[in-house]
Structure 1
């Protein structure tokens, strides 16, 4: 799997970084958990502070565009992120 950061935007008011990335993979689309771990490792953050908002894959392609929010603290993330996004990222709901 190969992850490429396309766009990074710091949002100091919400204490987060808004990231757009492209991931190339073989086979099926990777899970949110796998993408969170790879993105967190690349950005030097804890996976618990990374929340994947959207994974967009074109039919038949082995690449996806990811929109993620990377928070400075987990407490801030839980205050801002919608509950369904938190559940999806924490494994409580099918993505």
Structure 2
């Protein structure tokens, strides 16, 4: 699995990096968790600050395009991101569910 950065920009308003990438792979398409782990290691960031928004497989090729956001602060991440994206990236967990039932 090889990741190439297509664009990397910093959004000062939301205090995050917004990165578009191409992922070349052999064999089966890598799982969401595998790609997220690879990106965390590649950018040397905590897994609670990285949001993998989407991965789209290109038809007929062993290549995916993706979009990832790396936040400076976990509080801003939880304010900005939609709940289903947080669940997909396994961020928040028990604390968010406890607040809903109160």
Answer yes or no: same fold by TM over 0.5.
yes
TM-score, structure 2 normalization: 0.81
**Aligned twin of 2:23:** 23
User: 2:89 & 2:30 partners in 1: Cα distance?
Assistant: 13
Q: Which structure 1 residue ranges, 5 or more long, are not aligned?
A: none
Q: Is the 8 A contact 2:58 2:65 kept in 1?
A: no
Name which structure has the greater RCO, CA cutoff 8 Å, separation 6+.
1
RMSD over aligned CA atoms reads 1.7
C-alpha distance after superposition, 1:8-55 (max 9, x if no partner):
010011010000011111222212221111112111211221111111
**Aligned twin of 1:42:** 42
User: 1:41 & 1:50 partners in 2: Cα distance?
Assistant: 11
TM-score, structure 1 normalization: 0.87
Aligned length: 92
Question: Which protein has the larger Cα radius of gyration, Structure 1 or Structure 2?
Answer: 2
TM superposition outliers: structure 1 runs of 4+ over 4 Å? none
**Aligned twin of 1:6:** 6
